[in-house]
Amino acid sequence: MDKVESVSLIRRSSMGLTGGLCLIYAALVAATGDPTPIWPWSPVLLGGLTGLIIAASLALSGRAVAERATDELYRSQDHRAQRIGYWVALLLFPVFGALMSADAVTPALAFPMMGTLTAAAYLIPHALLTGGDG
């Protein structure tokens, strides 16, 4: 595995892990009815740690490797993940609005679910789309 693949694997894995935690957090909120089923700062801290890990891997790999790891194909796939995340996040508003108006979900539960699902809607597609040979 060359350095570019290593940087890509670190980025994909850390973003996928963070997206998975966000998805699990939302599922736990829905399943338990508790807006804080695990420590509420865990998605934020893992997200920040992910950013630091990615930045460190790019910085330590050197400029040439970092440029190759963030080439045009990567940017195209990242933009696709951003578009998916945007539309999923936008669709969460009417879905949760309908659920809240039907008294199926309280605002205290809807907001943590919407927040973590919004993050997962970008992070998981990013991890899937930016992998391997493209």
Q: C-alpha distances in angstroms, 132 versus 8, 12, 38, 50?
A: 8, 10, 33, 20
- What is the predicted pLDDT for the residue at 130? 87
- Average pLDDT on 36-52 reads 96
Chain-centroid distance of CA 113 in Å reads 13
- What is the predicted pLDDT for the residue at 1? 75
Q: C-alpha distances in angstroms, 29 versus 12, 40, 93, 120?
A: 26, 11, 17, 14
Residues in Cβ contact with 106 at an 8 Å cutoff, skipping those fewer than 6 apart: 100
Domain range annotation of the chain: 3-129
Smallest Cα–Cα separation from 61: which of 49, 53, 72, 50?
A: 53
Half-sphere exposure of 1 (CA within 13 A, CB side): 9
- Average pLDDT on 4-8 reads 92
What pTM, to 2 d.p., does this model score? 0.92
Q: Is residue 62 pLDDT above 60, yes or no?
A: yes
Counting residues of the chain whose pLDDT is more than 70, the rounded percentage is 98
Q: Is residue 99 pLDDT above 60, yes or no?
A: yes
Of 25-29, 66-70, 84-88, 92-96, give the lowest mean pLDDT range.
66-70
Q: Is residue 78 pLDDT above 50, yes or no?
A: yes
Query: In this structure, are residues 43 and 18 in contact, taking their beta carbons and an 8 Å threshold?
Result: yes
Chain-centroid distance of CA 28 in Å reads 17
- Average pLDDT on 44-55 reads 96
